[in-house]
Chains A and B, each alone.
Chain A
Amino acid sequence: MATEPEDIQNLVNQRYKHGFVTDIATESLPPGLDEDVIRAISARKDEPEFMLEWRLRAYRQWLDMQEPTWAHVDYEPIDYNAISYFAAPKSDEDRPKSLDEVDPKLLETYDKLGIPLHERARLAGVAVDAVFDSVSVATTFKDKLSEAGVIFCSFSEAVKDHPELVRKYLGSVVPQRDNFFAALNSAVFSDGSFVYIPKGVRCPMELSTYFRINAENTGQFERTLIVADEGSYVSYLEGCTAPMRDENQLHAAVVELVALEGAEIKYSTVQNWYPGDEDGNGGIYNFVTKRGDCRGRDSKISWTQVETGSAITWKYPSCILRGENSVGEFYSVAVANNRQQADTGTKMIHIGKNTRSTIVSKGISAGRAQNAYRGLVKILPQASGARNHTQCDSLLIGKTCGAHTFPYMEVKHPSAKVEHEATTSKISADQLFYCRQRGISEEDAVNMIVNGFCKEVFRELPMEFAVEAQNLLNVSLEGAVG
């Protein structure tokens, strides 16, 4: 009989499901980074002059910056000159206009991931802008979206077709020199998504991007910009999986959200980059800057994330609550198993009056993993009536993992109400025995208990995403209990 936590750890043992390499030839730049590389990226993407200048400015700032060391993570120094900063599928010149024209191998890849793209798109009414090795290859449902006036395209297209919007909003939430990785991204970003929801429009469908890192030694630097104009609403889903690989890969994305007066943006992520093997070989370094700006009054930005992948996760999706009565939310499940390291959380910066924020963070640590919540709630002197509630829970599976909580609260207004609660627990032998006495296998019991622990976050996810997230969690913890 096996109910001891160590036994539980052995129960689950499924290989990383999404580990395979798609065999599409890529046309990459040689490794290394200097101004010429940046010019080459910009030229290859046929960018206007302002974009090149912007990139170069970011690059020069990056040269002066230091890689951050404060996070509770530990990794070998990254050689930024050993990374190739551009990779594109061969078919770049002649991009498919519809799914029928998409390289069947790519579609096969999606099938392996369990994401039948067209099926899913048609049935679920989801438009998909699939970023494959840095360049968008398929965008669907454009017509329906453009009817509503919604712009949903690759970042490269936006630079060409909507330069005025890009100029106005790019870098307005995450400035070029915000941090080391954001500066690097600003200099070399390859592609990503751009969304603009016009005034008063409720986006007719959930927007979704699946992307994956595919070419060897290619750091991927996505850039996402979502602008919700006054009174608009959009729900955006981002999910990612990555192929199995031995070398560490750098992923340094930047996501900027702008919500104008009365607008609402819901941004959901399921992150499942390759976490490395049981001994910590391989795996993605996921150093992401995500920030939303509630620029207008009564605006709302809600981040929901399920982080199960990556060898190292360093991300703090944040909200700047500038507009009066604006609302920021952060719901997070972060799983770290084997040798994974996660340092994640959020920042809620209350600037406007009567701004409110909610933080719910669920961290699960297993194996020899380290999982840290790091958060900042800052109430500025003018933010009268600000409210924050933070709930931060850790679940420990096994005796060799770590669970850490570093919440910063800085309050400069007497009418603020800030509350922080944290708990730490483990899956108890009593809980397992209870479930097993009802005929449920130990493995199912563990999954059930873990999913119960994460419930408050899962219910924030769109339905189909929630199911995927639960499955991911079960897969991620395989081998954890026992």
Chain B
Amino acid sequence: MNGVDLTRLRAHVGGLAASSLDAARKRALKALETDGLPSTRHEDWKYTDLADVAAISDAWLTRPHTPTATAAGDAFIDELKSAADIDWLLLRNGSIEALYAAAPEGIVTSRLSENPPPDAPTNALTALNTALIADGLVIQVDANPERPLGLLFLDDADDDRAALSQTRVDIRVAAGSAVDIVEYHASFGDSPHYSNAVLTLDLGENALARHLRVQNRGRGHSLTQRLDVALAASARFQSAAFDLGGKLTRNDLAVDLAARGAGAEFDGLYLTGEGQHMDNHTRVDHRVGPATSRQAYRGILFGRARGVWNGKAVVHEGADGTDAEQENHNLLLSEHAEIDTKPELEIYAEDVRCSHGTTVGQLDEKALFYLRSRGLSGDEARRLLVRAFAARTIEALPFSALDVHLETLLDTRLAEIKDITVSL
């Protein structure tokens, strides 16, 4: 299987502590044995090569270990705790811990193994996750929690050994409940690290989830992540995602609008620089109408960076009354940066309003000139415009709990853009 030795994988899964997850693990293993990890010949993986992360997985399977916590990781936790009033659950190096003293009202957590087994994996990375997880986290939201619920995915790499982490979180929001969720991915250390996170979010009738995702992992660390969102009638999902760090990052966001009146709005911003590979794949299934989906992703690429964006909206037969919009805008700031973008529509209904717009381009020359005529230097003017480009996503933040922290992060990252003066 594409870089991962099956014998080692089988042996490792066999050695996991017996649990109610065993049958699911076996089924996942079987799927992996048949299909393996996708190669770039697979349409969904055309621009993203998993060979490196498969090699890390294999190296880890050869010498499995759990990294120990680092001072940098501890300091970061303290920083986040003081940055905002959020009830954090910490998923660190494979173990799960609540950082809050008392369980927030309306939130009940349990282990995946205490729940009915998860559905059969629909893709290879979920299969890999299901086969290898020791356990997962299930969060039930039954009321409207006062503070945002935070999920901090933190990986410490304390030595130079290849490290692998698999995490799974299932969130269920009861009918009529509303919850704010922060999903934060961070990692520390210099060794090769690969994290594979699987999340599901089920929204009951009239439920609302506002979701903020921040990914600022170490530059040598890779992440594949999948979030499946299912919406019942009149449920709403609002999300903004910020990808700043990491080496290879692949996000799969799948939104299933299975009932009338459901709505999903999600925005994304990726700042992708030297040595980074950032791949966003979104899919929205409109199964009935009326239902609405809007997505807007913006990318800033600099250095030897590769960005991939693939947005797909599928309007199923009978889903009349669908309103779907996709947007992807990219700023290419360096000669070595590349963007591959593909907004897809598959429509099997008639009464639909679907549109997509994609652009790849540079800063507006007229705006640059205008700013310079007001006395800004060329470099200042460019940075200002890049900041303005990114600000559109910040303006779309679904809630403000982490906005100061986030703006600081963004500005730090933007300041790292070196070759912004590329001649146009």
User: What are the residues of chain A within 8 A of B118 when measuring CB–CB?
Assistant: none
**How far is A215 from B57 in the complex, measured between Cα atoms in Å?**
60
Question: Cβ of B340 < 8 Å from any Cβ of A?
Answer: yes
Please judge, given known A-B contacts A394-B347, A402-B346, A424-B345, whether A411 and B358 are in contact too, CB under 8 Å.
no
Quick one: closest B residue to A422, CB to CB? B356
Q: Are A418 and B359 in contact, CB atoms less than 8 angstroms apart?
A: yes
Cβ-defined partner of A404 (8 Å) among B43, B346, B351, B352: B346
Question: Cβ of B248 < 8 Å from any Cβ of A?
Answer: no
Question: Cβ of B142 < 8 Å from any Cβ of A?
Answer: no
User: What are the residues of chain A within 8 A of B337 when measuring CB–CB?
Assistant: 414
For residues 367 through 413 of chain A, which have their beta carbon under 8 Å from a beta carbon of chain B?
A: 379, 381, 394, 396-413
Question: Cβ of B396 < 8 Å from any Cβ of A?
Answer: no
Q: Are B340 and A410 in contact, CB atoms less than 8 angstroms apart?
A: yes
Please judge, given known A-B contacts A396-B347, A403-B347, A424-B345, whether A414 and B333 are in contact too, CB under 8 Å.
yes
Q: Are B360 and A411 in contact, CB atoms less than 8 angstroms apart?
A: yes
Cβ-defined partner of B343 (8 Å) among A400, A407, A413: A407
Q: Are A420 and B358 in contact, CB atoms less than 8 angstroms apart?
A: yes
User: What are the residues of chain B within 8 A of A412 when measuring CB–CB?
Assistant: 338
Q: Are A417 and B344 in contact, CB atoms less than 8 angstroms apart?
A: no
Question: Cβ of A468 < 8 Å from any Cβ of B?
Answer: no
Please judge, given known A-B contacts A398-B350, A399-B349, A409-B342, whether A418 and B361 are in contact too, CB under 8 Å.
yes
User: What are the residues of chain B within 8 A of A397 when measuring CB–CB?
Assistant: 350
- Indicate with 1 or 0, residue by residue over A418-451, a CB within 8 angstroms of chain B CB atoms: 1111111110000000000000000000000000
A227 CB to nearest B CB, Å: 33
Question: Cβ of B348 < 8 Å from any Cβ of A?
Answer: yes
**How far is A409 from B361 in the complex, measured between Cα atoms in Å?**
12
**How far is A424 from B356 in the complex, measured between Cα atoms in Å?**
9
**How far is A403 from B422 in the complex, measured between Cα atoms in Å?**
40
Question: Cβ of B355 < 8 Å from any Cβ of A?
Answer: yes
Q: Are A402 and B345 in contact, CB atoms less than 8 angstroms apart?
A: no
Q: Are A409 and B347 in contact, CB atoms less than 8 angstroms apart?
A: no
Q: Are A417 and B354 in contact, CB atoms less than 8 angstroms apart?
A: no
**How far is A410 from B343 in the complex, measured between Cα atoms in Å?**
12
Please judge, given known A-B contacts A414-B424, A417-B362, A418-B360, whether A399 and B355 are in contact too, CB under 8 Å.
no
Q: Are A422 and B347 in contact, CB atoms less than 8 angstroms apart?
A: no
Q: Are B361 and A5 in contact, CB atoms less than 8 angstroms apart?
A: no
Question: Cβ of B64 < 8 Å from any Cβ of A?
Answer: no
**How far is A175 from B348 in the complex, measured between Cα atoms in Å?**
36
Q: Are A405 and B360 in contact, CB atoms less than 8 angstroms apart?
A: no
Q: Are B345 and A417 in contact, CB atoms less than 8 angstroms apart?
A: no
Q: Are B317 and A399 in contact, CB atoms less than 8 angstroms apart?
A: yes
Q: Are B350 and A407 in contact, CB atoms less than 8 angstroms apart?
A: no
Question: Cβ of A360 < 8 Å from any Cβ of B?
Answer: no
Cβ-defined partner of A417 (8 Å) among B338, B339, B348, B360: B360
**How far is A169 from B424 in the complex, measured between Cα atoms in Å?**
36
User: What are the residues of chain A within 8 A of B356 when measuring CB–CB?
Assistant: 405, 420-422
Cβ-defined partner of A416 (8 Å) among B348, B349, B361: B361
**How far is A250 from B362 in the complex, measured between Cα atoms in Å?**
46
User: What are the residues of chain B within 8 A of A418 when measuring CB–CB?
Assistant: 358-361
User: What are the residues of chain B within 8 A of A409 when measuring CB–CB?
Assistant: 339-342, 358, 360
For residues 356 through 398 of chain B, which have their beta carbon under 8 Å from a beta carbon of chain A?
A: 356-362
Q: Are B344 and A414 in contact, CB atoms less than 8 angstroms apart?
A: no
Q: Are A414 and B422 in contact, CB atoms less than 8 angstroms apart?
A: yes
**How far is A425 from B339 in the complex, measured between Cα atoms in Å?**
29
Q: Which of B345, B350, B353 is most buried by chain A, counting CB atoms within 10 A of its CB? A: B350
Please judge, given known A-B contacts A409-B358, A414-B422, whether A381 and B335 are in contact too, CB under 8 Å.
yes
Cβ-defined partner of B332 (8 Å) among A396, A416, A423, A425: A416
A125 CB to nearest B CB, Å: 43
Please judge, given known A-B contacts A400-B317, A411-B338, A418-B360, whether A5 and B346 are in contact too, CB under 8 Å.
no
User: What are the residues of chain B within 8 A of A403 when measuring CB–CB?
Assistant: 345, 347
Q: Are A414 and B354 in contact, CB atoms less than 8 angstroms apart?
A: no
Question: Cβ of B14 < 8 Å from any Cβ of A?
Answer: no
A373 CB to nearest B CB, Å: 9
**How far is A416 from B340 in the complex, measured between Cα atoms in Å?**
13
**How far is A424 from B339 in the complex, measured between Cα atoms in Å?**
25
Cβ-defined partner of B43 (8 Å) among A70, A419, A420: A70
B361 CB to nearest A CB, Å: 5
Question: Cβ of B334 < 8 Å from any Cβ of A?
Answer: yes
Question: Cβ of B117 < 8 Å from any Cβ of A?
Answer: no
A14 CB to nearest B CB, Å: 23
User: What are the residues of chain A within 8 A of B358 when measuring CB–CB?
Assistant: 407, 409, 418-421
**How far is A5 from B330 in the complex, measured between Cα atoms in Å?**
39
- Indicate with 1 or 0, residue by residue over B312-343, a CB within 8 angstroms of chain A CB atoms: 00000110100000000010111101111111
Q: Are A421 and B347 in contact, CB atoms less than 8 angstroms apart?
A: no
**How far is A211 from B337 in the complex, measured between Cα atoms in Å?**
47
User: What are the residues of chain A within 8 A of B320 when measuring CB–CB?
Assistant: 399
Q: Are B334 and A414 in contact, CB atoms less than 8 angstroms apart?
A: yes
Please judge, given known A-B contacts A399-B317, A418-B360, A421-B357, whether A405 and B340 are in contact too, CB under 8 Å.
no
Q: Are B359 and A420 in contact, CB atoms less than 8 angstroms apart?
A: yes
Quick one: closest A residue to B345, CB to CB? A405
Quick one: closest A residue to B361, CB to CB? A417
User: What are the residues of chain A within 8 A of B342 when measuring CB–CB?
Assistant: 406-409
User: What are the residues of chain B within 8 A of A420 when measuring CB–CB?
Assistant: 343, 356-359
- Indicate with 1 or 0, residue by residue over B381-424, a CB within 8 angstroms of chain A CB atoms: 00000000000000000000000000000000000000000101
Question: Cβ of A415 < 8 Å from any Cβ of B?
Answer: yes
B373 CB to nearest A CB, Å: 23
Q: Are B332 and A402 in contact, CB atoms less than 8 angstroms apart?
A: no
User: What are the residues of chain A within 8 A of B344 when measuring CB–CB?
Assistant: 404-407
User: What are the residues of chain A within 8 A of B338 when measuring CB–CB?
Assistant: 410-412
Quick one: closest B residue to A409, CB to CB? B341
A355 CB to nearest B CB, Å: 15
Q: Are A419 and B359 in contact, CB atoms less than 8 angstroms apart?
A: yes
Q: Which of B317, B330, B343, B422 is most buried by chain A, counting CB atoms within 10 A of its CB? A: B343
Q: Are A414 and B362 in contact, CB atoms less than 8 angstroms apart?
A: yes
**How far is A420 from B333 in the complex, measured between Cα atoms in Å?**
20
**How far is A104 from B63 in the complex, measured between Cα atoms in Å?**
83
**How far is A407 from B340 in the complex, measured between Cα atoms in Å?**
10
User: What are the residues of chain A within 8 A of B354 when measuring CB–CB?
Assistant: 422-424
**How far is A406 from B340 in the complex, measured between Cα atoms in Å?**
13
- Indicate with 1 or 0, residue by residue over A52-78, a CB within 8 angstroms of chain B CB atoms: 000000000000000000100000000
User: What are the residues of chain B within 8 A of A379 when measuring CB–CB?
Assistant: 360
Quick one: closest A residue to B422, CB to CB? A414
Q: Are B360 and A402 in contact, CB atoms less than 8 angstroms apart?
A: no
**How far is A426 from B349 in the complex, measured between Cα atoms in Å?**
10
User: What are the residues of chain B within 8 A of A426 when measuring CB–CB?
Assistant: 350-352
User: What are the residues of chain A within 8 A of B422 when measuring CB–CB?
Assistant: 414
A239 CB to nearest B CB, Å: 30
Q: Are A424 and B340 in contact, CB atoms less than 8 angstroms apart?
A: no
Quick one: closest B residue to A394, CB to CB? B347
A419 CB to nearest B CB, Å: 5
B43 CB to nearest A CB, Å: 7
Cβ-defined partner of A411 (8 Å) among B340, B343, B345, B357: B340
User: What are the residues of chain B within 8 A of A417 when measuring CB–CB?
Assistant: 359-362
Q: Which of A414, A422, A423 is most buried by chain B, counting CB atoms within 10 A of its CB? A: A414
Quick one: closest B residue to A398, CB to CB? B350
Give 14 pairs: A residue, B residue, CB < 8 Å, sorted on A: A5-B350, A394-B347, A396-B350, A405-B343, A407-B343, A409-B340, A410-B340, A411-B330, A411-B340, A411-B341, A414-B422, A414-B424, A416-B332, A418-B360
Q: Which residues of B contact A (CB under 8 A)?
A: 43, 317-318, 320, 330, 332-335, 337-362, 422, 424
What 8 pairs across the A-B complex have the smallest Cβ distances? A418-B360, A414-B332, A420-B358, A424-B354, A405-B345, A399-B350, A417-B361, A412-B338
Beyond the given A404-B344, A407-B343, A424-B352, please list 9 additional residue pairs across the A-B interface where CB-CB is below 8 A: A379-B360, A396-B347, A409-B339, A409-B341, A412-B338, A414-B337, A420-B356, A424-B353, A426-B350
Q: Which residues of A contact B (CB under 8 A)?
A: 5, 70, 379, 381, 394, 396-426
